[in-house]
Structure 1
Amino acid sequence: MFAPLRYAAFRRLAAGRLVNMLGNGVAPIALAFAVLDLTGSVRDLGLVVGARSLMNVLFVLFGGVVADRIPRRVVLVGSNLLGALTQAAVAALVLTGTATIPLLLALSAANGVVSALAQPASAAATPQTVPPELIQPANAIIRLGMNAGMIGGAALGGLLVAAVGPGWGLGIDALAFAVAAVAFIGVRVPVPKATRAGTSILADLREGWSEFSARTWVWVVVLGFMVLNAVLAGGVNVLGPAVANETIGRGAWGVVLAAETAGMVVGGLIALRIRVRRLLLLGVACMLADSFLLLGLALAPTVVVLVAAGVAAGVAVEQFAVAWETSIAQHIPADRLARVYSYDMLGSWVAIPLGQVAVGPIAAAIGTRETLLVLAALVVLSVIGMLSSRDVRRLQAGDATAANGTAMAKPADREPGHGDAAAPAEPPVRT
């Protein structure tokens, strides 16, 4: 199960993404309560988190082109250093009491640009660090590490916000970016070769679009997640903290988010072992469980109910995440993988800002409980829509070598002596 850890580039990539997710577990809680402390407005919170998501949407295609043109290690290191700077600035503003909504909007937008540059490179680098036959366990291990980081980050974020305030949580996120940049220095993978010298960005984007649109199962799932991610971003990330503030408390909300990630860890262990031919079908069907947390917030916002719903959703989400990453890596050529991921991310994220910004006014108009129930119904409908596609239901796990031509790590990157017994070293859910 842990054979991918024999490869040095993979270990360093996994370590960097683990640290990224530790910071990412702290940051949403800290930022949410920083904005609520500043203005008390759910609308303002939606605007701040929506600004980051909007920049993700606008720049992710450019990030995919960059990751297919220049060494992915350079992209990962540079983007994480920029992320450290933007989050350090946010932390300084909050800690000194000089934060304003316009400043937080600007810095949140800048951090969204940085994330848009990093994510296609990070996703596309994974299958280049291991042999093709190890892509599924490699994805599962990456996810295990990321989820372990999220568990610690969410719990730490809740504790920091409750004990010393949200500014320190944002400072921890800045530090995590810097540490991850150091880890990514060791991620040496082949430089993409298929992008022709002198081709324009537009030509590269057209080539990536051809790969993306040629596979029905790809764009159907992306359309489904356009709805699903917008719903979860508004329901869990915006209404969730507001409901928690009035019911279970801030510290307990951190526990709920940590419980969801604990479920992802369990799901990752299951995904390491599971072997089914129709892996994507299983993963998509499991996403029905994403409605549980929304229903819990609407109908029974208690710690017991929300923790149980979070664990169940986490286990299910991880089945999809590993199924999706494995399917993409096995069926998309390696030299175009980052661009396909960028179209995937664009489609999956494009409605997130709308969900984050619109959910506050909708809740004010019809009520928070009613809004959460509508969002839960939309989760179910989006999953049914994805499953209605024959291509999604029938896609089978294939031979990665034949389908993808993925470049494995060079022999020099493999370091025996850190074998299967070694312990495993990041966006939605699929964000």
Structure 2
Amino acid sequence: MRARPTWAGRNYTILTAATVVSGLGHSGALIAAAFAVLGAGGSATDVGLVAAARTVPLIALVLVGGALADRLPRHRVMVAANALSCVSQGAFALLVLAGEPRLWQMAVLAALGGTGQAFFAPASEGMVLASVSGEHSARAFAVFRMGMNGANIGGAALGGALIAAVGPGWVLAADAVAFACAGALRAFLDVSGVPPRTGDVGMLRSLRDGWREVISRPWLWSVVVQFALVNAVIAAAEAVYGPLVAEAHLGGPGPWGVALGAFGAGTLAGALLMTRYRPRRLLLTGSLCIFPLALPSAALAVPLPAGWLTVVMALTGVSVEIFSVTWMTALHQEIPEEKFSRVSSYDWLGSLAGIPLATALAGPVQEAVGLHTALWGCAGVVVLLTAAVLCVPDVRQLTRRTTVAAAGVTPPATPPAAEDPVVG
């Protein structure tokens, strides 16, 4: 009996294992960083400032990270980014364990971690699907997402327990070790079959080339614009409005935490489903699965009892994962390998750019129109934007190819068959 599927080669296995290792450490460390700030006498505002310090360089540098990953060997960019994250988290751990860390010190180290993520994320997405043949890409990415989501859920639970037992400093130290182990694993990737990258094109031209790839594909830029706003309103609903509703109507943070955990469990179920489900119309199927993202905001606006909210969050997790796999499969199928990281960086920028502003404005909007109206507004934005994206013909018609070459070699497009069901 084979220990792994035939399509899961050495590089894919290393990448997945490294992601599980780093995910176990990092998801707990994000919680530890918040408790480290509070333990140093910081306020909720200070916790937000440290979280923003991680997010701002990620948004500011992700395009540079994508261009660099298309100019240099991607595995080297990933290893270097892991090394930076290891150093920043190790220094953060030493600072906390030594006692009385200052807010500015924690913010600077969080910013270094965000910088590492800005360079790591586009390079990682360029490597994962290039490690398997095109016909297995959707299943491979679904399994990869299962490992990543499972590590994030388990790491958060383990991190919370360890914070209570030994304190946040040791959890941050464990995250530094996890980054070191993940970087060491990625250093063993076999890139002998990857064409060399000359890097002889200037950075600005690389960014312009990536932008042209995005803007020349209506299905691509329309979804990126959609998620710039969808992610923003969802972040406002979950980070700001959800806790307010939980405190007033659901019984406090406990039921809200269970609901968020159910969303994580739903992503695992969705990834498992996508190891078997192969919709023909990729983006039509994926976009239809964005409509359920309006349900949590609507459920909070009613508000539904905690039990029903948990069910809604679980179903939303399933739908998000279906979209994630179909979206990445479409990117892998349509985008040339040598430009993949640049395109991915624009996708990341669109997904993240609106979140800080939305979370900052969530409170003033709620005070101006009321909590329930604000939540219904979040749900309405998701529905209207998704309906608008479905009006784009390329979104409805982009079809899975029966044969796709590996590593981003793009054969001619296959037109959708007349007998394809509308649901993909």
Same fold, judged at TM 0.5 (above): yes
| Aligned partners of 2:243 and 2:253 also within 8 Å | yes
CA distance in 1, matches of 2:380, 2:138: 31
| Unmatched segments (≥5 aa) in structure 1 | 407-431
Distance 1:402 1:86, change over 3 A: closer
Are 1:289 and 2:288 counterparts? Answer: no
Give 1:207 deviation, angstroms: 1.7
Secondary structure of the corresponding residue to residue 401 of structure 1: coil
CA distance in 2, matches of 1:180, 1:402: 25
Q: Give 1:401's match in structure 2, choosing from 399, 402, 405.
A: 405
| Aligned partners of 2:298 and 2:375 also within 8 Å | yes
Distance 1:181 1:40, change over 3 A: same
| Aligned partners of 1:76 and 1:118 also within 8 Å | yes
Q: Give 1:316's match in structure 2, choosing from 310, 319, 324.
A: 319
CA distance in 1, matches of 2:86, 2:136: 32
Structure 1 segment 10-409 matched on structure 2, within 5 A: 10-35=12-37, 38-41=41-44, 43-161=45-163, 166-189=168-191, 193=195, 196-240=198-242, 254-300=257-303, 303-363=306-366, 370-398=373-401, 399-401=403-405, 404-405=408-409
Distance 1:218 1:369, change over 3 A: same
| Aligned partners of 1:226 and 1:349 also within 8 Å | yes
Secondary structure of the corresponding residue to residue 186 of structure 1: coil
| Aligned partners of 1:33 and 1:166 also within 8 Å | yes
Equivalenced residue count is: 405
CA distance in 1, matches of 2:42, 2:247: 14
| Aligned partners of 2:228 and 2:352 also within 8 Å | yes
The structure showing larger relative contact order (alpha-carbon pairs under 8 Å, at least 6 residues apart) is 1
| Aligned partners of 1:157 and 1:254 also within 8 Å | no
CA distance in 2, matches of 1:96, 1:289: 46
Task: Specify the code of the residue in structure 2 equivalent to 1:22.
Answer: L
Give 1:64 deviation, angstroms: 0.9
Task: Specify the code of the residue in structure 2 equivalent to 1:113.
Answer: T
CA distance in 1, matches of 2:193, 2:337: 10
Hey, what does 2:417 align to over in structure 1? none
CA distance in 2, matches of 1:9, 1:72: 13
Distance 1:299 1:20, change over 3 A: farther
CA distance in 2, matches of 1:46, 1:108: 12
- Percent identical across equivalent pairs? 40
TM-score (norm 2): 0.84
Task: Specify the code of the residue in structure 2 equivalent to 1:329.
Answer: H
| Aligned partners of 2:232 and 2:355 also within 8 Å | yes
Q: Please identify the structure whose Cα radius of gyration is greater.
A: 2
Distance 1:140 1:93, change over 3 A: same
| Aligned partners of 1:280 and 1:327 also within 8 Å | yes
CA distance in 2, matches of 1:218, 1:177: 32
Give 1:55 deviation, angstroms: 1.1
Task: Specify the code of the residue in structure 1 equivalent to 2:394.
Answer: D
Give 1:255 deviation, angstroms: 4.2
TM-score (norm 1): 0.83
Secondary structure of the corresponding residue to residue 150 of structure 2: helix
CA distance in 2, matches of 1:33, 1:303: 26
